Amino acid sequence: MSSKPIVLGGGCFWCLDASFRLIEGVVSVTSGYSGDSKSTADYYTVASRATNHAEVVKVEFDPKIISLKEILDIFWAIHDPTTLNRQGNDVGPEYRSVIFYFNSDELKIINQSINEVQKLWPNPVVTQVEQLKEFYPAEPEHQNYFANNPEQAYCQVIINPKLSKLREKFASKLKEQ
């Protein structure tokens, strides 16, 4: 099986990680950082805003099962792409809506997807689109955070409602549990 990657940021990486892990055709999800140098790619440096990194997830998917367009449809549904540097109570440039692409074919699909999703929102989509320079995996404690910390307050109050919405809207795209 040959998978394809895309790197997405839309708020806290824990939310995106938990969401994409549920999707059929997603081979792996890795929480991490993109947008700055390796020397600033750690949780505390990013959270202190001493860096230009965004919290992101690298989603490896099987294009025979799910397309990039479908991955993006899910991405738009699980965050608000119209709020600049903010998702709910998570505020700052590290929580920006951003797509890091690998090649011009992906860029074309991304731009078409943005044009389509803009029709659904009354406010402008502010998602940044950048060619990926580097992806730095987050520390082990941030990988699969929701599954490893289901009783943590952030998981209960923030992630669970997003997963409920995802399960309802994309039931046909979910892995069998």
Domains along the sequence of the chain with CATH: 4-173 (3.30.1060.10)
Q: Is 12 a known active-site residue?
A: yes
Model pLDDT for residues 64-102, shown as the tens digit of each residue: 999 999 999 999 999 999 999 999 889 999 999 999 999
The active-site residue out of 6, 7, 8, 12 is 12
pLDDT band for position 33 (cuts 50, 70, 90)? very high
Q: Tell me what pLDDT residue 177 has.
A: 63
Inform me whether the pLDDT recorded for 39 exceeds 80.
yes
Quick one: pLDDT at residue 139?
97
Instruction: Indicate if the pLDDT at residue 158 is higher than 80.
Output: yes
If you write DSSP's letter for every residue of the chain in order, what string do you get?
---EEEEEEES-HHHHHHHHTTBTTEEEEEEEEESS-GGG-SHHHHHTT-S--EEEEEEEE-TTTS-HHHHHHHHHHTS-TTSTTEETTEESGGG-EEEEESSHHHHHHHHHHHHHHHTT-SSPP--EEEE----EEPPGGGTTHHHH-TTSHHIIIIIHHHHHHHHHHTGGGBPP-
Query: pTM of the prediction?
Result: 0.95
